[in-house]
Structure formats: structure tokens, C-alpha cells
Structure 1
Amino acid sequence: MIYQHPLAYLLGIEGLALLHAWSGEYDEEFTQRRLAEVRDLLANPALTGHEGVLVGRGDTLTGYRQWAATYDEPRNSLFDIDEPAMHRLIEALPVGDALDAACGTGRHAEYLAGQGFTVIGVDSSPEMLERARNRVPLGEFRLGDLRELPLSDDSVDLVVSGLALSHSPSLEPVLTEFARVLRPGGHAVISDAHCEIGFRGSIPHALGPAGEPGLVATYRHTVGDFVRAALAAGLQIRACEEPHGSGGDQLLPPPPVPPAEASPGDWSGWPWSLIALLPEAVRAAWAVPAVVVLDFELPEGASLA
């Protein structure tokens, strides 16, 4: 079980903001405001007296079954960050056969089809696949696992995977499968939620059978982890981008009450309801890349036999 306490999260955000100031990014007044907020937080009985919440480690299938109906509405803010970078990379490649790995509701499959690609989508969630089939009628969608793709060797020119690999405990088996199904000269264009925003609490919920708090299994993969796994699979890196969001600004309505009087709210809104209490600290603490976007190529003449 994971133990989450609202005061621990808020103090952690303040701590990250203070470290940015310590390195010279902010001035003395910023630091003094952070210290004053910390004192206010520690004076708030709704926070100091909170018992915290035990949170289960949910599974991906449960989480995405619950999320499928609302996955695209409202639009995930990470889509607006990863898509421009991915589209630039894809548009530089020749049109051919494409796999959308962990296709979800088909947002990348829809784009690929619009670019003229013949599209196969694979996902482990039947509920997500149903929506992808409705969204991309000309695509072919298959139930499957990224570690054992239901495709033959050398069968596609492009593999695309968006915001999915953080749910895999190890990248090596997944990228080995991407290399297996790629034709020589083919590319794997991948985006994922950056490990830094996962560290700050951006993890999908996966509630238990009676609605108990739970989070989708999520793992922090660094850029180096992706590169090492790709090289081990025989892929070569061609591009790497780490687009930023807007420092959490899109998540921050004005705090309704001072931190000394604020209520942490229900767990179902965490961490987003919590970060609304500390807008200035959050802008500093969340000033990190939101996603990582990578382009790997399987060299001509490569043999994975």
C-alpha cells in the first residue's frame, strides 16, 4: 500500500520550490514567502490532524477500464504537449504500415490514418479498443500486450506509442518487441509522461472494487533508461525532445482560502486540488519537462534473428 498525506505533499512542493530558489532561480522574497507558507501549513489543523490515506497499487486494465469513457473529454493536457513534437517527427518519415502500440482510444491511429498510413492498433484494454475502432473505422485493432505484440517480424515501417510506457515496469522487453516488428530502416516514435511529473503526483487513478483509493501502476523511466533499452534492442536514437508544459499554470485556479485555513479536500481530487492551494510554489516546483519524445530507428541491414 501507498500512504499519502496532504501535508506531506504540500510540504514536498514547497521543498522543491525552495531548492529552485537555493540554486539561484528565485530571490530572497520568494524564499521568504515559501517559508511563511510552510509555517501556515504547519498551523492548519485540517492538515496536521489529517490521518492520511492508504492507496492501493491498482492495475492498468482496471484504471483504463474506468477511464475509457472520459479519456478524451476533457482533453488530456499532455496531448497538446506530445502531439506537436510527435507529428513533426512522423511527418518527416515516408508513409507506410504503422503500428499504434498501446493505442488507447485511437488518437495517434486517427492521425496516422489521416497521413495515409495503413494502421494497426494494439492495446490491452478492450474498452479502449472499442472506442478506437469507432474513431478509426479503417484501422485494424487487436487486443494484445506490448511485451508480446500480435504482429509478425518485420511487418511495419513505423511504431508509434503515446503516453503508455510508464506503466511498464521494464522498457527492455517492450522496445525489443518494437524492434522485432519493425522493418529495417523503420522508426519507433515514442512519447511518455516525463518521470518528473510522475514524481510530482501525475498518476491516473485506479479505484478498488468498492471505490477504494488506488493508482495505476506507474514507473519512473528516465531518458537514459529509454536510450539504454533502445540500444540493447538494436535501435539507434535519431531525436529526443523534452517539451515543457506551463509550470502547472493550467491546473491552478486562485486558491480559495489561505493555506492556514485550507481544507485538503477528498482524496479523489489529489494532487490537483492540493496544488491549487500553492500556486506560486507549484509554478516553481512543476517547472520541469512534461513529456519525453524519442525517435529510434532500426538500421538498414539489421537482423534480430
Structure 2
Amino acid sequence: MTYLHPLAYLLGVEGVALLRSFGGEFDRDFVHARLAEIRRLVNDETLVAAGIPIGTVDTVDGYQVWAKTYDEPGNGAFPVEEPYVRRIVDSLPQGCFVDAACGTGRHTEYLAAQGHRVIGVDSSPDMLAHARAKVPSAEFRFGQLDKLPLADNEADAIVCALALTHVADLRPVMAEFARALRPGGHLIISDMHESIVLRGSIPKVELPDGTRARIATHRHLTGDYLRAALPVGLQVRSCEEPRPGLDSTMPPATPLGPDLTPGEWQDWPWNLSGFIPQASWAANADRPATVIWHFQLSTND
């Protein structure tokens, strides 16, 4: 059991903004505005009392709940990573494409529309049910990323989107990708950037028994992907770290209002940024939201 507190996020964001100022990016007025906000935040009784205990669940239990709303608008990672993933996919010849951790079939649908033979793999029966209904032309298989239900060299390309953040150790998964790819095959990975996971962008669900929980999520540094991929013959073709496209201009200073009710816990931290718009902008404006890797399996024996 961990502890989720809106003040931990708000003060953390203020801290990042102040660190950037300490590094020479902002002026005296900005610094004193941040200090005034911090004093106001830590003295607000509603905020101070808002912390809650929260558990952790695996992807099977978590996505059983999230599958019902996963495709609804609001998942900000989709529009950031999709153009990059599709640009790589569109550069590849037709073949057998695997959508590993396919979820509800978001990328499966696009791959099938491009004329590829598509195999969707997921460990969540609820996600697979949604995907089968969405993309009846694709084949779907139940399986784990570290034990893919694929033959050796079966895939010409594998797409794995926004899933490896839920994997603690990348090495067994990368080894499975390499095993399932034909020599010269392509691996396209999109993942939540470790910097945004650090800022609390972690899926939260309420289980059927009322338990509040976060889906197990891990931060992977650039070197973690490389240390897992290079030894199994996966060579880097490209790596992109797209930003979410926030306004390049800092918003005007806005005094904190009298009502700092933090809203529903499921919406934290996204609904909290509006309390401190300048600090949020300074902490997040140029931070990557996702990382997109393109690997190719070596043809060497």
C-alpha cells in the first residue's frame, strides 16, 4: 500500500519549476510567485487532508476495469505517439505484423487497414474481447510479452505500444521480440517517457470491491532499453521523444483561488495543474510524454 497525496504532486511541480529557475531560466518575480504559492498550498486545510492510501494491481486486474473506457477521448498519449508509430509502419513492406500488448486493438486496426496480416497478443481477456470486436479480420492470441504465443521468426514486424512501462525487466521481453522476428525484421516500440511517469502519469482504477489502486508502472531510462535490446541483436534505427505540444508561452500569473478542492482521486495529477499554471508550464512544457523506438533485428547469425 502506498500513499497518494495531491500536495506531493503540487509541491513537486513547484520544486521542479524552482530548480529550473535556480539554473538560470526565470526571474525574481517567478521565484517569489512560486514561494508564495507553496505557502498557500501547504496551509490549505482541504489539500492537507486530501491524501489517500492506494494499492497496486497487475495489468490483468487493472485493465479488466480500464478496458471499458480505454478508447474514450482523454488518453493524452495516443495523439502524441500515433503519428510516429504510423510513420515507421508506413515505411515497411507488407507482411506479418504482431501487435504485442494490443489492448483494445488501436494499432491492430490501423495495421489491418494497411493490408498486413495482423496477430494481436494481449494478457488481458477483457482487452482482447474489445479488440476482436473492433478488428474481426485480425487474429488474436492470449499471451504474455515475455512468453509470446508466436513461432520463431514468425513476424516481419512487431509493434508494442504503451506497454513496456508495465514491465519491470525489459530483458526477457526484448529477447522474446528478437526470437519471434525474422532476421531483418522490425520492432516499433512506443512507451511512456520515464520523466512523465516520475510526474505521476500512472493509470488508476477502482476495483469492483471499491479498492483504489494504480496499475503497476515502472520507469525505464534510455540505457535500460539499449541494455535489453542490443545483446539480442536488435539494432537501433531511430529514437524519438515527442513533446505533448504545450504552448511555448508561459501563462500569466494567476493567484490561487479560495477553493482548492482537489477533485476526484482518479483525475490526479491531470486536474491539479490548473491550480498552479505557471509552475506546471515551467515543469512540463518541454518534457517528453512518450519515447518511440525503431529497432531492426540483425541478419547476422
TM-score normalised by the shorter chain: which range applies? over 0.9
Pair 19,289 (structure 1): closer, same or farther in 2 beyond 3 Å: same
Identity of aligned residues (%): 51
Residue 52 of structure 1 pairs with residue 15 of structure 2: no
User: Which whole-Å CA distance do the structure 2 matches of 1:260 and 1:12 have between them?
Assistant: 21
Residue 270 of structure 1 pairs with residue 240 of structure 2: no
Partner SS state of residue 61, structure 1: helix
Q: How does 1:106-185 map to 2 (within 5 A)?
A: 106-185=105-184
Q: Is residue 187–residue 296 contact of structure 2 (8 Å, CA) maintained in 1?
A: yes
**1:231 CA displacement:** 0.6
Q: Is residue 247–residue 282 contact of structure 1 (8 Å, CA) maintained in 2?
A: no
**1:52 CA displacement:** 2.0
Instruction: Tell me what 2:39 maps to.
Output: 39
Partner SS state of residue 21, structure 2: helix
Which consecutive unaligned segments of at least 5 residues does structure 2 have? none
Which consecutive unaligned segments of at least 5 residues does structure 1 have? none
Instruction: Tell me what 1:85 maps to.
Output: 84
**1:284 CA displacement:** 1.5
User: Which whole-Å CA distance do the structure 1 matches of 2:58 and 2:206 have between them?
Assistant: 9
Q: How does 1:183-222 map to 2 (within 5 A)?
A: 183-222=182-221
Q: How does 1:23-34 map to 2 (within 5 A)?
A: 23-34=23-34
Partner SS state of residue 242, structure 2: coil
Partner SS state of residue 206, structure 1: strand
Q: Is residue 65–residue 207 contact of structure 2 (8 Å, CA) maintained in 1?
A: no
Partner SS state of residue 195, structure 2: helix
User: Which whole-Å CA distance do the structure 1 matches of 2:64 and 2:292 have between them?
Assistant: 26
Q: Is residue 205–residue 266 contact of structure 2 (8 Å, CA) maintained in 1?
A: no
Q: Which amino acid aligns with 1:73?
A: E
Partner SS state of residue 57, structure 1: strand
Instruction: Tell me what 1:280 maps to.
Output: 278
User: Which whole-Å CA distance do the structure 2 matches of 1:137 and 1:265 have between them?
Assistant: 39
User: Which whole-Å CA distance do the structure 2 matches of 1:266 and 1:131 have between them?
Assistant: 27
Q: CA RMSD in A?
A: 2.0
User: Which whole-Å CA distance do the structure 2 matches of 1:63 and 1:283 have between them?
Assistant: 30
Q: Deviations over 1:175-200 (max 9, x none)?
A: 10000000001010000011111111
**1:43 CA displacement:** 2.3
Pair 197,175 (structure 1): closer, same or farther in 2 beyond 3 Å: same
User: Which whole-Å CA distance do the structure 2 matches of 1:295 and 1:187 have between them?
Assistant: 7
User: Which whole-Å CA distance do the structure 1 matches of 2:72 and 2:263 have between them?
Assistant: 23
Q: Is residue 41–residue 260 contact of structure 1 (8 Å, CA) maintained in 2?
A: no
User: Which whole-Å CA distance do the structure 1 matches of 2:103 and 2:134 have between them?
Assistant: 11
Instruction: Tell me what 1:233 maps to.
Output: 232
**1:28 CA displacement:** 2.1
User: Which whole-Å CA distance do the structure 2 matches of 1:210 and 1:285 have between them?
Assistant: 36
Q: Is residue 147–residue 174 contact of structure 1 (8 Å, CA) maintained in 2?
A: yes
Partner SS state of residue 272, structure 1: coil
User: Which whole-Å CA distance do the structure 2 matches of 1:246 and 1:27 have between them?
Assistant: 24
User: Which whole-Å CA distance do the structure 2 matches of 1:128 and 1:51 have between them?
Assistant: 33
Residue 100 of structure 1 pairs with residue 99 of structure 2: yes
User: Which whole-Å CA distance do the structure 2 matches of 1:151 and 1:206 have between them?
Assistant: 31
Instruction: Tell me what 1:12 maps to.
Output: 12
What's the TM-score, normalizing by structure 2?
Answer: 0.93
User: Which whole-Å CA distance do the structure 2 matches of 1:282 and 1:259 have between them?
Assistant: 16
What's the TM-score, normalizing by structure 1?
Answer: 0.92
User: Which whole-Å CA distance do the structure 2 matches of 1:283 and 1:99 have between them?
Assistant: 38
Q: Is residue 182–residue 298 contact of structure 1 (8 Å, CA) maintained in 2?
A: yes
Q: Deviations over 1:118-146 (max 9, x none)?
A: 10000011111111111111100111100
